[in-house]
């Protein structure tokens, strides 16, 4: 059964048009050199959008909190250098205006899916929004969160399934594969699958990404680091640069067959 979803333009990229997009980049922007290395790999791997966290909503306040404004500036600069649209997360209404200066797409993270003032503020901006599913949210709550954005006039919403909390503890979260066709069907938004935050494990990224595409996802988001073991956040679920090139190649081959 084929379901029509609204097309969402992110710079020169279209999400929801039938050809799955790959969004890739570091969990956190750590500096210019690492970001350039990842961006060069992204171009080689035909990634459509470069991601990089800079306002990081970490579970522990003692963990690396991101480079903030400096990270946004680096992401904007490297995106322009490599011709890639860029997406990053904002965690507060006050960050939105600044973020608009640098980003082609604004991400709302799982921990902020219920931040209604932030969602409403993003409803008033001229930029697409990548809305991640809260790890305790039902599909209905996720779609209602999207409505907070749409109600204010911005219907350029893309959803991201990133796993929900279950009793399973060998994975960080549990990828809810049924949410992919369900949210597409009932919401009419494109849906991206994030196997990294869903699993927390590099060894599960390929099967989960393939499962996402098989379930009809409009794209896959991947974390990448030049030296994952030294990453300041989420190294265990990040691909190396050769790992990105290999997995992106496989995903392209599957989606064009």
Please give the residue ranges that form the binding site for Mn ion (CB under 5 A).
27, 234
Say how many CA atoms lie within 13 Å of 77 toward its Cβ: 12
Contact residues for 155 (Cβ-Cβ < 8 A; gap 6+): 6, 149
- Give the 3-state secondary structure of residue 58: coil
Smallest gap from residue 179 Cβ to ligand PEP (A): 13
Nearer to Mn ion, 41 or 182 (CB): 41
Nearer to Mn ion, 56 or 156 (CB): 56
Query: What does 202 bind: ligand PEP, Mn ion, none (CB cut-off 5 to 8 Å by kind)?
Result: none
Smallest gap from residue 96 Cβ to Mn ion (A): 21
Q: Measured between alpha carbons, how far is residue 230 from residues 28, 58, 68 in Å?
A: 12, 17, 20
Query: What does 162 bind: Mn ion, ligand PEP, none (CB cut-off 5 to 8 Å by kind)?
Result: ligand PEP
Q: Are 131 and 157 in contact (CB under 8 A)?
A: yes
Phi, psi of 53 (to 5 degrees): -80, 140
- Give the 3-state secondary structure of residue 147: helix
Smallest gap from residue 222 Cβ to ligand PEP (A): 10
Smallest gap from residue 124 Cβ to Mn ion (A): 27
**Closest of 74, 82, 108, 68 to residue 11, by C-alpha:** 82
Smallest gap from residue 223 Cβ to Mn ion (A): 5
For the beta carbon of residue 33, count every other beta carbon within 10 angstroms: 9
User: Cα 125 to the chain's mean position, in Å?
Assistant: 19
Nearer to ligand PEP, 162 or 184 (CB): 162
Positions in the binding site for ligand PEP (CB under 6 A) = 27, 53, 89, 109-111, 132, 162, 197
Nearer to ligand PEP, 76 or 256 (CB): 76
Nearer to ligand PEP, 111 or 252 (CB): 111
Smallest gap from residue 28 Cβ to Mn ion (A): 7
Query: What does 30 bind: ligand PEP, Mn ion, none (CB cut-off 5 to 8 Å by kind)?
Result: none
Nearer to ligand PEP, 17 or 96 (CB): 96
Give the long-range contacts of residues 106-112, CB within 8 A, separation 24 or more. Answer: 106/130, 107/51, 107/132, 107/160, 108/132, 108/145, 109/57, 110/134, 110/135, 110/162, 110/197, 111/57, 112/57
H/E stretch holding 176: none
Q: Which residue is nearest to ligand PEP (CB)?
A: 109
């Amino acid at each position: 059964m084929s379901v029509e979803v609204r097309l969402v333009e992110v710079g020169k990229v279209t999400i929801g048009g039938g050809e799955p997009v790959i969004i890739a980049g570091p969990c956190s922007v750590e500096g210019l050199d690492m970001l350039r290395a990842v961006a060069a790999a992204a171009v080689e791997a035909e990634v459509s959008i470069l991601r990089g966290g800079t306002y990081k909503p970490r579970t522990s306040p003692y963990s690396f909190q991101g480079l903030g404004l400096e990270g946004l500036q680096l992401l904007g600069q490297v995106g322009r250098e490599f011709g890639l649209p860029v997406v990053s997360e904002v965690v507060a209404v006050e960050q939105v205006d600044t973020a608009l200066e640098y980003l082609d797409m604004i991400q709302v993270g799982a921990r902020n899916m219920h931040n209604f003032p932030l969602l409403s503020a993003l409803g008033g901006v001229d930029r697409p929004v990548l809305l991640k599913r809260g790890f305790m949210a039902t599909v209905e709550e996720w779609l209602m969160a999207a409505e907070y954005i749409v109600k204010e006039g911005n219907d350029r919403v893309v959803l991201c399934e990133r796993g929900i909390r279950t009793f399973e503890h060998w994975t960080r979260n549990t990828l809810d594969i049924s949410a992919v066709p369900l949210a597409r069907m009932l919401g009419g938004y494109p849906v991206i699958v994030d196997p990294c935050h869903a699993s927390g494990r590099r060894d599960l990224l390929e099967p989960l990404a393939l499962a996402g595409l098989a379930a009809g996802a409009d794209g896959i988001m991947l974390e990448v680091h030049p030296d994952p073991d030294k990453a300041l956040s989420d190294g265990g679920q990040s691909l190396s640069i050769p790992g990105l090139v290999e997995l992106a190649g496989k995903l392209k081959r599957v989606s064009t067959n």
